Amino acid sequence: MGRLSPRKGSDLGLEAASLIQQEGRQVEFTMLGVAEEGGEWFERQLRTQAAESGVDVKFAGLQRDIWPYLASADILLAPSRFDEPFGNSAVEAVLALRPVIASDSSGLREAAGGYRTTRLVPPGDARAIADALVDVTDSWSDIVRSLRTSRKEALRRYDPASYRATINRACGVESRGHWESASS
C-alpha cells in the first residue's frame, strides 16, 4: 500500500513471492499504489518483473479505501529499503486483523514491532521476506489465535487519547484535555 518506488521495496516483495512460489507454494500478490511523478519507470519495471516471475500479480492502483483490500489479504508486506517516519500501513493491517512482515527499520519497527502477528526482517533482503512469509504461513493457526490480541494492543498504543497522554507524560506535561498546551 502506498507509493510504488524503489525505496518502498515493492520489487523485494515480488521477488520474495517468486522465491516461495519456486519452492512450490501458490502465491497471489496485490500491489496498492502508483508510482510518483518521474518514477513511472519503476512501475514499468515492476510489471516486467511480475510478468517474468510467474506469480499471480494484481496492480490495484491508488485506492482511497484500503479496508476492502486488507479484508481480502492474508498478509501485509511493508518491505521498505530505508527508514520510514512511521508505518501507518503496518498498523492498519494489525487493526484489520492481518499479520505483517515489515522491514526492521525505525518507523516500521515502531509501528509493527512487539506483536505476535508481525515479523521484522532486515531491510533490502528478499530472502528474509520469503522466509518470514513461510514462517507466518507455517504457523498460521498460532498467528490467527493472536490476531485479536495484536489488534487490542495496537488500539491501546495508537488510540489518539492514549497516545496524547503518553506523549504528555513523556514531556512532563499533565493531561488536561483535548490538545491543551502546558501554558494554558
pLDDT of residue 113: 95
Listed range (11-20, 94-103, 170-179) with the worst mean pLDDT: 170-179
Distance CA 62, CA 31 (A): 9
Over the stretch 50-98, which tens digit does the pLDDT of each residue have? 999 999 999 999 999 999 999 999 999 999 999 988 999 999 999 999 9
**CATH architecture type of domain 6-170:** 3-Layer(aba) Sandwich (3.40)
Give the confidence band of 108 by pLDDT, cuts at 50, 70, 90. Answer: very high
Confidence (pLDDT) at 176: 56
Residue 31: other Cβ atoms inside 10 A: 22
Distance in Å from the first CA to the final CA of the chain: 40
Kindly state the percentage of the chain with pLDDT values over 70. Answer: 94
Task: Provide the pLDDT for residue 164.
Answer: 81
Identify the band that residue 115 occupies on the pLDDT scale cut at 50, 70 and 90: very high
Query: What's the confidence (pLDDT) of residue 158?
Result: 87
**What mean pLDDT is predicted for residues 140-159?**
95
Average pLDDT, the chain: 91
* Cross-strand partners of 102: 78, 120
Q: Where exactly are the structural domains of the chain?
A: 6-170
H, E, C per residue of 134-173: HHHHHCHHHHHHHHHHHHHHHHHHHCHHHHHHHHHHHCCC
Instruction: Tell me the C-alpha distance between 43 and 6, whole Å.
Output: 9
pLDDT higher than 60, residue 39: yes
Q: What is the pLDDT of residue 26?
A: 93
User: 118 forms bridges with which residues in the sheet?
Assistant: 100
Does the pLDDT at position 180 exceed 50?
A: no
Q: What pLDDT, on a 0 to 100 scale, did the predictor assign at position 175?
A: 57
Can you give the pLDDT at residue 118? 97
Helix (H) or strand (E) holding 21: helix 10-22
Rounded to two decimals, what is the model's pTM?
A: 0.87
Q: Which residue has the higher pLDDT, 56 or 183?
A: 56
